Structure 1
């Protein structure tokens, strides 16, 4: 007994072992600037993932530590964030708001040998022309959005005249097939460009107005659409439609707008996905809002990286990348896959329509924005491997 007490005393007096060193990941997101509300969603999604991982024992026996820096949606600032994170020991980077930012960060991540996950950037070239082994895009490309919209609009609104405004071009008299060429245009648009284009649209005989605009440009353009009363005589389509855009412009301004999305907060319930339903419930409890597709995309990117780390049993980049390539999984929706060719996340897509304001306001949280109109399976929505290879052959890096 005396020996036992002596052992207990020595154990009590022994120095307490240091806690396991945390695994650091970096979130480079637009906390400020024209895309800041999308950045807030990315922050919430990343925090939800980090909390989930730590609540279930961490990663490889170590806690996960999320660090964040403001990119303001600017490529140069986002690239500097990569270097800052790596100086802090980060082993993974997530976040973006524009294709220019995603491409620049991706190139820096490749140079530094760290996996980079893109939750939001629509340019096809992100995973085609500028794609590489260190870059993974969880969110959809512009072509994925257009593929589902072309099928829906072509069948439900056939033989219509289109007026399409992109970040750097205007198609004044197009058909549904014009969405393909329009999807290759840039994301950056000056107010003078789209305001002048909207005046031309008002003078046209178009039946469908397509706005391939993003962030504050889309919000400003939609307010002008409302002032010009264009929705009274033409359908308005925003190919990459987000909850954040409806929130910023307001449900009255956005009422009736048609667009695409890879996920809505109702997706898990419809598909009886228990993980997805738990995620929605947890988000509503924590933030008092419904999670958007941007939240879900950021959450999924972090969770998928962590899953690959667990399967590879290391945070080293190359084994983690190999664990992701071709990996099929279900998390918040139906089956998704990280295509090995371009690291584009291949997933199903929805066509949605913004509900009437009165219907939105009847909801308890007043943020149930979307009515689901159409669904397309992942293999049909995705660009083909031949299309990706063609774009890579025509592009330069």
Structure 2
């Protein structure tokens, strides 16, 4: 590498590290417009537009309008990385957020760190995002697999005792991470007593789910744990219904969203047990006024209810605004300091950006899908879930000692 190349590379890194001097604050939005998680991506997009519209109508951030610069990841880590680099080096965005796949969020977040920008992971649940692959430029609002596994495992153990489990798991980072966490909190680590079947990701076909669910049926398990998400969960639930598995075992999934429930349908969804950090009916069930305002604004704007992934996206943009205004700058290092340890309330009860791992601590709700008649009584046929249990974020999350053990197992330092 010659001297001119070295100087240019250094200049480019310097420019990318500086806050925007333009008249607007640019947010790089890196999300799946296409692919298996496109429905989650649509909710992220609608929520992002609503948040930006509200913020700009109220005067922007530090007197500057907010601008979204959008790229499609299509669920590909490689594309997510390319988008991240382009958004920073060519569009000079001040911050990046998005993603519905942990593999995409992890890869994109690392690219953002290399170029001196914050990356907020939206719907990313793998423990690694803020664990073994975590770093000081990544903040994750969505609960990780440990947190959902802890909340769900506690409820299942109390409700079903020493039941026999069968796991059907997406064969990638989030699926494996979630299954491991669930086994830990349900005392089902014995894979002979509680077997599993992996389904390809991405690219699973109906025959893959039929094969996995046939193995589950033959196992005689009491609980069918579908460690799947997005279109994969929709397909698996339809196959399970066609096979009559709801009459033979309790069906559980670690994560659910309103969008998935709509795609599956009220009849098939009946009595499914899962977790969520937020769904539109929860602010009404638990009396969170600001959450109700978000639901009503979103519903009026788009004619549909917001999902948990919409709430996460909306919250990230407002938390970025808050951090910039408290810091008085878009400088990345100043914003890291402003976010670490910060407590707030927005759409639900208290939340916190934990300092040592940048995981957002928040209450996890265990939910059960309502009967079809209750679901369709809602004008938008969207009243799917009732809260049957919960666990506070501080109790649900890894301790510092447990987090450091995860880092050590991956040969990472005991800090970000």
TM-score (norm 1): 0.90
Distance 1:186 1:71 in 2: 22
Report the alpha carbon displacement of residue 187 of structure 1 after superposing the two structures with TM.
8.8
1:233-252 matched pairs, under 5 angstroms:
233-252=248-267
The one of 118, 122, 125 aligned to 1:119: 122
> After TM superposition, what 4+ stretches of structure 1 lie above 4 angstroms from structure 2?
179-183
Corresponding position of 1:258: 273
Q: Is 1:101 the equivalent of 2:104?
A: yes
Distance 2:254 2:116 in 1: 34
Corresponding position of 1:5: none
Number of equivalences? 375
- Comparing 156-165 with 189-198, greater Cα deviation is found at 189-198
Corresponding position of 1:153: 156
Distance 1:179 1:346 in 2: 26
Distance 1:272 1:227 in 2: 38
The one of 178, 185, 192 aligned to 2:188: 178
Going from structure 1 to structure 2, the CA distance change for 1:79 and 1:393 (only over 3 Å counts) comes to: same
- Tell me the SS of whatever aligns to 1:279: helix
CA contact under 8 A between 2:199 and 2:212: conserved in structure 1? no
CA contact under 8 A between 2:168 and 2:199: conserved in structure 1? no
Report the alpha carbon displacement of residue 50 of structure 1 after superposing the two structures with TM.
0.8
CA contact under 8 A between 1:79 and 1:104: conserved in structure 2? yes
Corresponding position of 1:4: none
The gaps in structure 2 that reach 5 residues or longer are: 1-21
CA contact under 8 A between 1:146 and 1:180: conserved in structure 2? no
CA contact under 8 A between 1:161 and 1:208: conserved in structure 2? yes
- Comparing 306-315 with 366-375, greater Cα deviation is found at 366-375
Corresponding position of 1:51: 53
CA contact under 8 A between 1:202 and 1:228: conserved in structure 2? no
The one of 391, 397, 402 aligned to 1:382: 397
Distance 1:297 1:59 in 2: 19
Report the alpha carbon displacement of residue 217 of structure 1 after superposing the two structures with TM.
1.5
Distance 1:298 1:157 in 2: 34
Distance 1:180 1:384 in 2: 24
Q: Is 1:188 the equivalent of 2:201?
A: yes
Corresponding position of 2:304: 289
Corresponding position of 2:170: 167
Distance 1:99 1:200 in 2: 27
Corresponding position of 2:76: 74
CA contact under 8 A between 2:149 and 2:254: conserved in structure 1? yes
CA contact under 8 A between 1:265 and 1:292: conserved in structure 2? yes
CA contact under 8 A between 2:99 and 2:121: conserved in structure 1? yes
- Tell me the SS of whatever aligns to 2:29: strand
Q: Is 1:91 the equivalent of 2:94?
A: yes
CA contact under 8 A between 1:164 and 1:212: conserved in structure 2? yes
CA contact under 8 A between 2:37 and 2:230: conserved in structure 1? yes
- Comparing 129-138 with 43-52, greater Cα deviation is found at 43-52
Corresponding position of 1:134: 137
Report the alpha carbon displacement of residue 353 of structure 1 after superposing the two structures with TM.
1.1
Corresponding position of 1:198: 213
Corresponding position of 1:16: none
The gaps in structure 1 that reach 5 residues or longer are: 1-19
- Tell me the SS of whatever aligns to 2:162: coil
CA contact under 8 A between 1:94 and 1:117: conserved in structure 2? yes
Corresponding position of 2:5: none
Aligned-residue CA RMSD in angstroms?
A: 2.2
Report the alpha carbon displacement of residue 186 of structure 1 after superposing the two structures with TM.
9.8
Deviations 1:253-289 (A, max 9, x none): 2221110001121232344333222111101111111
Distance 1:114 1:271 in 2: 36
Distance 2:222 2:241 in 1: 16
Answer with 1 or 2: which has the greater Rg.
Answer: 1
Distance 2:265 2:149 in 1: 24
CA contact under 8 A between 1:187 and 1:213: conserved in structure 2? no
